[in-house]
Amino acid sequence: MAKAKTTKRPDAAGGNRPFIYNRYAPRQLREALAKMQRIRRFEECAEESYMRGHIHGTMHLSIGQEASAVGICMPLNAGDQLTSTHRGHGHCLAKGAEIARMFAEFFGREDGYCKGRGGSMHIADVANGNLGANGIVAGGLPIAVGAALAIKKLKKPNVVVCFFGDGANNEGAFHESLNMASIWKLPVVFVCENNGYGMSMSAARSTAVENVADRAAAYAMPGVIVDGNDLSAVAEASQIACDRARAGDGPTLIENKTYRWRGHSKSDRNRYRTKEEIEAWVAKDPIIRFQDEMKSQGIVDDAAIAEIRAAVEQEIEAGLEFAKASPPPRIEDLTRFVYTDPIP
């Protein structure tokens, strides 16, 4: 495989309409917009609760990267799985998680997806196929490959999406995982969300190649560079990769070029990047872009957008109420869940 390719935007069959408008019904497109809004508002509210001291620990926000999470998950079916990262709220919601149970987790409560034991950095939704965020950079890559191996051995029709950041592509686990997925032709889609930085280190400083997708060549799989703020382009790349995986042709490496608006985590003073750079990317808001595109395609108008937003606000409010009312774990249950059969 030669150099990584950039996906061609306009769909040949559908004239100049981007991919998703040919592939999905208006109802599905409105749902995709609702998901992006849900992620944005969920994270803004989580951030606020954190600032007010209602949520402890740390959190990593994916604000500005919503098109990547939602677009990648559009071709996924109920039985498909994903592995996520420390910046995983968007992946979780995109795969169908409930806001209420996510908040409950952040508040450390029993109704949380991890029963208050994991928090933001380990958010998961196993019933919906989300095998979990990960506190270890690149920790999810071999796990995704293993889940894909299980799918192959069990002859299931499913795929595993493996999200990771640009920073993860310099861990040994990245290279070992891509190689194994390729030699065994496993149904896995590697998705690098390249937001320009691993904490303070720019991808340009940390990584010897220009594009993470260029590394696909070393593992004989397609490497695809995508405008990660363009929902349609992301969904299209994901569709092609999922089709290939389901057909038994093996893995793909997708690189979504995007940007995180917020600092890495709570302790970030943004000393490694300029205000101008941040502002330039904020101007490329993936949600506004998708909204405008849908408007010009005649799929939504301002009233419909307002309706979607209002529904999201309601969901958030109800979710926060639910989380606050949920009981905390009992201290006696400190060692519960360590083993399947408790050791006395």
Q: Which two tokens stand for residue 288?
A: 């506004």
- Contact stretch for other proteins (CB under 8 A) within 14-22, 210-218, 222-230, 265-273: 265-273
Do the Cβ atoms of 88 and 164 come closer than 8 Å? no
Q: Which is nearer to ligand TPP, 31 or 47 (CB)?
A: 47
Strand order in the sheet with 160-165: 5-6, 223-227, 252-257, 188-194, 160-165, 81-83
Contacts of 16 (CB under 8 A, 6+ apart): 10
Q: Which is nearer to ligand TPP, 166 or 293 (CB)?
A: 166
| Of the residues 33, 137, 143, 189, which one makes contact with other proteins according to CB under 8 A | 137
| 149 vs 159: CA distance, rounded Å | 10
User: What residue 206 binds from Mg ion, ligand TPP, other proteins, none (CB within 5 to 8 A, per partner kind)?
Assistant: other proteins
Determine if 118 is a binding residue for ligand TPP (CB under 6 A).
no
Q: How far is CA 194 from CA 19, 152, 180, in A?
A: 22, 29, 22
CB of 279 to other proteins, least distance (A): 20
Do the Cβ atoms of 322 and 109 come closer than 8 Å? no
Determine if 258 is a binding residue for ligand TPP (CB under 6 A).
no
| Of the residues 128, 206, 239, 297, which one makes contact with other proteins according to CB under 8 A | 206
Determine if 166 is a binding residue for ligand TPP (CB under 6 A).
yes
Q: Which is nearer to Mg ion, 158 or 258 (CB)?
A: 258
Strand (E) or helix (H) holding 50: helix 26-51
Contacts of 314 (CB under 8 A, 6+ apart): none
CB of 157 to ligand TPP, least distance (A): 30
Determine if 195 is a binding residue for Mg ion (CB under 5 A).
yes
Determine if 209 is a binding residue for ligand TPP (CB under 6 A).
no
Do the Cβ atoms of 319 and 103 come closer than 8 Å? yes
CB of 121 to other proteins, least distance (A): 6
Strands 201-202 and 197-198: antiparallel
Determine if 58 is a binding residue for other proteins (CB under 8 A).
yes
Determine if 200 is a binding residue for other proteins (CB under 8 A).
yes
What residue ranges bind other proteins (CB under 8 A)?
A: 56-58, 108-109, 114, 116-119, 121-122, 134-139, 167-168, 170-172, 198-201, 205-207, 267-269, 271-272, 328-329, 331, 333-335, 338, 343
